[in-house]
A and B are shown apart, each in its own frame.
Chain A
Amino acid sequence: MNWQGWAEIALTLGLAVAIGWPLGVFMSRVWNGERTWLDPVLRPFEAFFYTACGVDPKKSQSWHSYAGALLAFNLVGFLVVYGVLRLQGVLPMNPQGFPGLSGHLAFNTAISFVTNTNWQSYAGESTMSTLSQMLVLTTQNFVSAATGATIAAALARAFVANRGEGVGNFWADLIRTTLYVLLPAAFVLAIVLVALGLPQTLSAGVTAHTLEGADQKISLYAVASQEAIKQLGINGGGIFNANSAHPFENPTPLTNLITAVSINVLGWAAFFAFGRSVLAKKDVRALVIAASILLFAAGAGIYATETQPAPAQVAAGVDASVNMEGKETRFGAPATAAWAAMTTGASNGSVNGMHSSLMPLGGGIAMFLMHLGEILPGGIGSGIAIMVVMAVLAVFVAGLMVGRTPEYLGKKIEAREVQLSILAVLAIPVCVLGFSGVAAVLPEALKGLMHNGPHGLSEILYAYTSGTANNGSAFAGLTANAPWWDVTLAIAMAVGRFAPIVAVLAIAGSLVAKPKLAPSAGTLPTHGGLFVGLLIGVILILGGLQFFPALALGPIVEHFQVLAAVAGH
């Protein structure tokens, strides 16, 4: 560890929060339907969308109707992706000549991209045509991110309303977030990334004649355009198998800094947008501080583990100051550690080094951040929404302890909100522990593992954690393109996405009808250091504790095996 490493980690994590703030103000204006400086260009497009779709953007929907529209849109998205991937072989723009995907792989991939997970059971450069990458995967990178943002917008309206009815219009939220926030940001970022070295071509690649006289086939795609929205939309599905470790996705320390910040920036922006929309900036600042503390701690923890002696390097008698297996030279330990924390703290899932080759506790921290429910800062909107759920539970717990009426942001918290909040956070443990338990004893599932013992269990746990939390990163030794893995992971992704979304919208529907209360002497302050501490406690206990027995059998046992192996030399 050195000062350069610590400075790089602090800069990367801090920059995302700092840029997220002004972007959050803009995002809030977009949610609220206020004027923005992009109106002259984009207003006609927006109006055309409404006319063609036959919707009135000013008509506020009940939470049922809002959720129904969201689910209908996602169902259509699933069918389009599935269809295109199955038919890839007969569709145009396929210079690679790739055939259509198998049923189970197309099913998994369609669910994966619609749910903003971007788990990939395939290697991009040997599976996906240029058309598939652009037409369906890039499109879903945008609209699945916008879908997540809509629930934060709806939840914000519920907190603002005083005995209101509707939670907003889903179509307006979806279309405005896509057109005003995601599309301009992605376009600018894509051009910057091309300038810094990312390819952007419709050609399938070139064959080079190397200095030693061999032929090397180099795959190319329209990389930059997908890379930009892959990061900004907190999607994470790479063009190439190696994702952001691939030099074509992430060629230099500068592209690494920019794309790492892009992972978190709109997640933080949604925090600030929520605060501005609800007129609760101080309370949201407390949420940002709580999330930042956990995220910085995780980044520092992974940096520390990756600079512990790696057993193979010790056994080989080479320099063991950094665990270099699975890491790129230009990134080393600090940039890989910061990225690993940011990608698992958000629901991104892109990687710039291989998580399976991290030291056991480094991989364990990555898994643990996903267990917390993707709230550091999580996906755009989906992160702040689940963070508010955590805050509601924290207020409820505090209310039980001191006998105060639980209130949050001027709304009374009652049995229905607490039940729905618990429902929202239960999806992860049920899917992760349930499916992992079955997979750990099922020969059909175990065939896919690369490792036996604790690391094998970690492969299973990581896969279902990543799928359910809609992250998408992997301990990629697992061969997941088989019917069992493709189908069960798809189910985990769908449950992990839509159960919390529906629960959050139901909470919004319940809160919107309540009167807005002025704070009284009996109201627990939710912006001070005490609340930050309480919230961190609730997040760690509720989000993390139920996974400790499983983690103890995976990364923690493996950690002690590593210590023993290193001590043996």
Chain B
Amino acid sequence: MFSHLRPALVSMGLFTALLGLGYPLAVTGVAQAAFPAQANGSLVRDARGTVVGSALIAQAFTRAEYLHPRPSAAGNGYDASASSGSNMGPLNDKLIEREKTDAAALRTENPGVVIPADAVATSGSGLDPEVSPEYARFQAARIAKARGVAPDQVQAVIAGQTQGRLWGFVGQPRVNVLAVNRALDARFPKGG
């Protein structure tokens, strides 16, 4: 056993220097030089250069004139330093009550239309930046009313931000919430 001590200690030291420092720092160097936008979190800035969020991370939207993201179990909701799903099992009472309450509220907003599942189900991360095209279209009437424009105009903005499946079969169709809301603000300035 003692004969193994030197190689164990020395190799662990060398591995730590090479893999624990050299490797991540080398990747960081290449990443920051070649792909700075992605490497720093795909941040989105407004005209003044202020960071308004990340294209990849959900943020809370509650006002009627904005597209709303999926409900979130991250921290107290959309906490981008405390990602989490609800972890509730399919028969969890709190889950069933929460989905019933959320669905009842959505039904008053758009009676008679089928409510998509992602409108009431929390995502795995709590930071899902996207909603299904069905849930985005579901909200168009509310957004149009709040902004005083025709629903078709809002639907057109949503359609413009909808992404299909990769190669026609990988992943799911989806709509980035922050991108839609920035497009809405650009197209129909608030108060206008």
Residues in chain A within 8 A of chain B (CB atoms)? 3-4, 7-8, 11, 45, 48-49, 52-55, 68-69, 72-73, 75-77, 80, 123, 125-126, 134-136, 138-139, 142-143, 171, 174-175, 178, 183, 186-187, 190-191, 194-203, 205-212, 214, 216-220, 222, 224-226, 240-242, 245-248, 251-254, 256-257, 310-313, 315-332, 335, 351-354, 356-360, 450-451, 455, 458, 475-477, 558, 561-562, 565
A186 and B41: CB pair below 8 A? no
Q: How far is the CA of A285 from the CA of B176 in the complex (A)?
A: 44
In the assembled complex, the Cα of A96 lies from the Cα of B77 at a distance in Å of 21
User: Is there contact, CB below 8 Å, between B169 and A245?
Assistant: no
Contact, CB under 8 Å: B19 / A210: no
Name the contact of B83 in the complex, choosing from A69, A75, A246, A558 (C-beta under 8 A). A246
Contact with A along B53-90 (1 / 0, CB 8 A): 11011011111001000100010001111111111111
Give complex CA distance A466, B14 in Å: 31
Instruction: Determine the distance from Cα of A315 to Cα of B35 in the docked complex, in whole angstroms.
Output: 46
Once A201-B39, A242-B83 are accepted as A-B contacts, the answer to whether A208 and B52 lie under 8 Å apart by CB is yes
Please list the 5 inter-chain residue pairs (A to B) with the smallest Cβ-Cβ separation, ordered nearest first. A253-B171, A245-B124, A354-B85, A324-B121, A242-B83
Find B81's partner among A76, A125, A175 (CB 8 Å cutoff): A125
In the complex, 19 of the A-B residue pairs with CB atoms within 8 angstroms, ordered by the A residue number, are A49-B11, A54-B7, A143-B19, A186-B23, A194-B35, A201-B32, A205-B80, A206-B41, A210-B53, A218-B57, A245-B124, A248-B56, A312-B95, A312-B98, A312-B121, A313-B121, A325-B86, A326-B123, A329-B131
Is the beta-carbon distance between A171 and B11 smaller than 8 angstroms?
yes
Cross-chain contact A242 with B61 (CB below 8 angstroms): no
Contact across chains for A216 and B80 when beta carbons are under 8 A apart: yes
Closest Cβ of chain B: how far from A320's Cβ, in Å? 7
A139 touching B20, Cβ below 8 Å: yes
Bound Cα distance from A359 to B95, whole angstroms: 13
CA distance A450 to B19 in the complex (A): 37
Contact in complex: A328, B96 (CB < 8 Å): no
A332's contact among B56, B119, B172, by CB below 8 Å, is which?
A: B172
With beta carbons under 8 angstroms apart, the residue of A8, A75, A197, A316 that contacts B38 is A197
Contact B27 A200 (CB under 8 A): yes
Given the complex, which residues of B lie within 8 Å of A311, measured CB to CB?
90-91, 96
**Residues of chain B having any CB pair with chain A under 8 Å:** 1, 4-12, 14-16, 18-21, 23-24, 26-28, 30-32, 34-35, 38-43, 50-54, 56-57, 59-63, 66, 70, 74, 78-92, 95-96, 98-100, 102-103, 107, 114-132, 134, 165-166, 168-172, 174, 178, 181-182, 185
**How distant is the Cα of A194 from the Cα of B32 in the complex, in angstroms?**
9
| Closest beta carbon of chain A to B105's beta carbon, Å | 11
Say whether B171 contacts A196, CB under 8 Å: no
CB closest chain-B residue, reference A459: B89
Taking a contact as CB atoms under 8 Å apart, the answer to whether A319 and B116 are in contact is yes
B177 to chain A, nearest CB (A): 10
Contacts of A256 in B (CB 8 A): 171
A residues less than 8 Å from B85 (CB atoms): 242, 245, 325-326, 353-354, 356-357, 476
Selected from B28, B98, B178, the residue in CB contact (under 8 A) with A200 is B28
With A208-B54, A328-B128 as known contacts, state yes or no: A354 contacts B86, CB within 8 Å.
Answer: yes
Identify which of A138, A246, A331, A558 contacts B127 (C-beta below 8 A). A246
Q: Which residues of the partner chain A approach B99 to less than 8 Å between Cβ atoms?
A: 312-313, 315-316, 318
Q: Are A565 and B15 in contact (CB under 8 A)?
A: no
Nearest-neighbor residue (CB-CB) of A45 within chain B: B18
Residue among B80, B99, B129 facing the most chain A CB atoms (10 A cut-off): B80
Residues from chain B with a CB closer than 8 A to the CB of A196 are: 38
Having A312-B95, A451-B88, one finds 8 other A-B pairs with CB under 8 Å, namely: A142-B15, A190-B27, A220-B40, A240-B83, A248-B56, A319-B134, A328-B125, A475-B87
Could you tell me the distance in whole angstroms from the C-beta of B30 to the nearest C-beta in chain A?
A: 6
Which residues from A are CB-within-8-Å of B114? Answer: 318-319
Contact assessment for B28 and A202 in the assembled complex, using a CB-CB cutoff below 8 Å: yes
Please tell me if the beta carbons of A199 and B39 are within 8 angstroms of each other in the complex: yes
- The CA of A75 and the CA of B41, in the complex, are separated in Å by 37
* C-alpha spacing A245/B129, complex, angstroms: 11
Contacts of B122 in A (CB 8 A): 325-326
Residue in B27, B78, B83, B118 whose beta carbon sits within 8 Å of that of A191 in the complex: B27
Residue of A nearest to B124 (CB): A245
What is the distance, in angstroms, from B184's C-beta to the closest C-beta of chain A?
Answer: 10
Residues in A with CB closer than 8 Å to B18 are: 45, 183
Residue of B nearest to A207 (CB): B51
Complex contact A325–B88 (CB within 8 A): yes
Tell me the bound Cα distance from A7 to B169 in angstroms. 7
Q: Are B87 and A11 in contact (CB under 8 A)?
A: no
B71 to A, closest residue via Cβ: A325
Query: Closest B-chain residue to A197, C-beta based?
Result: B38
Name which residue of chain A comes closest to B114, CB basis: A319
Beta-carbon contact of B53 and A55 below 8 Å: no
Contact of A252 with B171 in the complex, beta carbons under 8 Å: yes
Known: A138-B20, A211-B181. A123 touches B84 (CB 8 A): yes
Which residues of the other chain, B, contact A359 by a CB distance below 8 angstroms?
Answer: 90
Given known pairs A126-B81, A318-B103, A319-B115, the reply for A134 and B21 (CB within 8 Å) is yes
Say yes or no: B31 contacts A135, CB within 8 Å: no
